[in-house]
């Protein structure tokens, strides 16, 4: 079974959108109950 790519629409956050301390990198899945995003934190600093 192949995983289909979600089609972005007006109800999704655009890639690059900053939400608090997170930046949206991509949409992982979009379904009947919500949207799952891949995001990266902008304040976490690994040393």
DSSP designation for 43: S
Task: Please state the domain extents for the chain.
Answer: 16-47
- pLDDT at 5 (0 to 100): 52
Q: Tell me the per-residue pLDDT of 1-47, one tens digit each, with 9 for 90 and over.
A: 455 555 556 688 999 999 999 999 999 998 888 999 999 998 876 55
- pLDDT at 39 (0 to 100): 95
């Amino acid at each position: 079974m192949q995983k289909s790519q979600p089609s972005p629409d007006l109800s999704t956050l655009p890639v690059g959108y900053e939400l608090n301390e997170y930046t949206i990198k991509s949409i992982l899945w979009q379904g009947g109950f919500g949207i799952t995003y891949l995001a990266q934190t902008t304040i976490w600093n690994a040393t």
